[in-house]
Amino acid sequence: MIELYTHATPNGHKVSILLEELALPYKIHLVDLAANEQFSPAFLAINPNNKIPAIVDPDGPEGRPVSLFESGAILIYLAEKTRSPLLPASGEARYAVVQWLMFQMAGVGPMFGQAGHFTIYAKENIPYGIERYTTEAKRLLAVMDTQLTRAPWIAGDDYSIADIAIFPWTNSILRVPQFPNLDAWPAVCRWREQMLARPAVQRGLERPKREN
Ligand SMILES: N[C@@H](CCC(=O)N[C@@H](CS)C(=O)NCC(=O)O)C(=O)O
């Protein structure tokens, strides 16, 4: 069974949502970030970058256990392991998914994360940081909104691991006071409703809250 090291955060939710969509059995190990468990030697042996999520698959591609960190790499790994259509095997559709997955990993995650940091967690009020990252978050939401006006899902006609990667970050930006709702981006709101209606998405958000 796949072992998932996680916490109820956007990067963690990506992996639990995908595992639920794939109906793969998995065991959750909650890593208590507030207690700095991500720096424990046992966890560093799995992820030298001391962040969740990480997985250990006892049945890796070479027939021996494999551990993986970086949520984007984990999503690709799990989709390929199961030959899931959530990551098309080839062609334009595959690269559209990879492109939007990279957009999340390099843009949405870091920028929404910094917007949250400067508005909610920073020990001092730094207007430059607040302005820089909330402005960038709005720009990224506008990019998503344009794409989701053209297509039902972020990478085109089909639901994919790119939707799964981006969605938890839209929950996260809604905690930032400058984003009480996402009404300025109606196609993003429509897409969020599609995501929230999926039972696997609901389970993937819930399980890391209550299991260890
Ligand atoms: N690029 C990494 C980011 C992972 C990440 O930032 N995880 C956060 C929680 S969402 C974390 O573990 N933070 C703990 C720390 O930085 O010490 C990924 O996508 O997996």
pLDDT digits 0-9 by tens, 49-104: 999 999 999 999 999 999 999 999 999 999 999 999 999 999 999 999 999 999 99
Give the residue whose CA is nearest to atom 13 of ligand 1. 51
Q: Which residue has the tokens 């909104």?
A: 145
| Residues 25, 115 within the same domain | no
Q: Whose CA is nearest to atom 15 of ligand 1?
A: 51
Residues of the chain where predicted confidence (pLDDT) is lower than 50: none
Q: Of all atoms in ligand 1, which is nearest to the CA of residue 70?
A: 20
The residues facing 55 across adjacent strands are 4, 68
Cα(156)–Cα(147) distance, integer angstroms:
8
Atom of ligand 1 nearest to the CA of 74: 20
Closest protein CA for atom 16 of ligand 1? 51
Same-domain check for residues 130 and 177: yes
The verdict on 39 and 115 lying in the same domain is no
Q: Ligand 1: distance of its center to the CA of 94 in Å?
A: 26
In a mutational test of the pocket of ligand 1, which residue from 17, 18, 38, 51 has the highest number of ligand atoms less than 8 Å from its CB? 51
CATH code at position 105: 1.20.1050.10
Same domain, yes or no: 106 and 188:
yes
24, 116: one domain: no
What's the structural domain count of the chain?
A: 2
pLDDT at 2: 97
> Nearest 10 degrees: CA dihedral of 183, 188, 190, 191?
-160
Closest CA to 153 of 104, 201, 188: 188
**121 and 143 together in one domain:** yes
| CA–CA distances in Å: residue 96 to residues 18, 75, 169, 194, 205 | 18, 15, 20, 20, 25
CA–centroid distance, residue 149 to ligand 1 (Å): 30
Note the pLDDT of residue 212: 54
Domain coverage including residue 32: 2-85+200-210
Residues 23 and 96 in one domain: no
Q: Which residue has the tokens 């796949």?
A: 2
Q: What pLDDT, on a 0 to 100 scale, did the predictor assign at position 138?
A: 98
Handedness of CA 95, 192, 79, 84 (dihedral sign): negative
**Ligand 1 centre and the CA of 21: distance in Å?**
22
User: Which of 52, 111, 166, 167 should be mutated for ligand 1, with most atoms under 8 A from CB?
Assistant: 52
